[in-house]
A and B are shown apart, each in its own frame.
Chain A
């Protein structure tokens, strides 16, 4: 029954499997994202970076993590 404890989500277009009840803050930590240099979107809504630990990930959530790169 261990499969039920895992859920599939999408991060920057890539499918990832995480434990059920994973907080968004846990995911960001695990990915070693420099939080001050990014913006995060959950299912097309911008997430307040101060509230990451209040968000528990659900099945099929779509997360986008963006930053600045060179551009004209």
Chain B
């Protein structure tokens, strides 16, 4: 397993688990959970600086962007214009070109607006961004994103924060079989076994936020997801047995007394 690196936009990572930095009780809890998860990439949001309360803790003081790759996202953007503005600002903060594009279409189910997403992917790629794209689990859209220059395809398992796990394994498998791009399950996972399933389907990685941050014991859950991703990947690479409807004995049937 040593040589099994996670490649994103020509960068190599050891961990296939990407974690979000939202929803934690505080920055300390967030930083500790990330450490335990072993993640080397974390998603971050772009928001206004609080100009009245200067004592508010800064994310960068807790998670060192020199050690952990920051993946700025466009969470909360509902059209291409907002998403482009957000990511151009993110790039300005510290030269980040690897970004997560997420253009939402509905405030209740948080499903992505794929028309705006596709448009934004093309523009951002032309501007030199490396765009990891949150999308629905539609193989045709995944193909279009690939053709528009996306550097990773990130279909949802289920609605963001729902914890429902992978709802459409068949579509994920179809997307896996049609693309060589990194395929990362983003959103909707609820427990470690969901990550195992994603990895066993052949996904290259998973992105988890709520399932860790809102678990009763976030540190233990961070560790559980770390192990799940490793385990699922190993299982996938090991080549599972064929499924049979009938039983096959594990012990020899000859020389039975």
Q: Would you call A39 an interface residue if the criterion is a C-beta within 8 Å of the partner chain's C-beta atoms?
A: yes
Q: Would you call B149 an interface residue if the criterion is a C-beta within 8 Å of the partner chain's C-beta atoms?
A: no
Whether B51 lies near A70 (C-beta < 8 A) is no
Whether B43 lies near A39 (C-beta < 8 A) is no
The interface residues of chain B lying within 8 Å CB-to-CB of A31 are: 51, 54
Which residue from A12, A33, A71 sits with its C-beta under 8 Å from B43? Answer: A71
CB distance from B162 to the nearest CB of A (A): 12
- Proximity bits, B46-73, A CB within 8 Å = 1, else 0: 1111011010001110000000001011
- Proximity bits, A33-72, B CB within 8 Å = 1, else 0: 1101111110010100100000000000000111111111
Task: For the complex, give the distance between the alpha carbons of A14 and B50 in Å.
Answer: 11
Q: Would you call A32 an interface residue if the criterion is a C-beta within 8 Å of the partner chain's C-beta atoms?
A: yes
Which residue from A12, A37, A72 sits with its C-beta under 8 Å from B51? Answer: A12
Task: For the complex, give the distance between the alpha carbons of A34 and B94 in Å.
Answer: 12
Whether A72 lies near B89 (C-beta < 8 A) is no
Most buried by A among B52, B90, B93: B93
Whether B44 lies near A39 (C-beta < 8 A) is no
Most buried by B among A38, A70, A72: A72
The interface residues of chain B lying within 8 Å CB-to-CB of A69 are: 21, 44-47, 59
The interface residues of chain B lying within 8 Å CB-to-CB of A37 are: 58, 60, 93-94
Task: For the complex, give the distance between the alpha carbons of A28 and B30 in Å.
Answer: 29
Whether B43 lies near A72 (C-beta < 8 A) is yes
Interface residues of A (CB under 8 A from B): 11-14, 31-34, 36-41, 44, 46, 49, 64-72
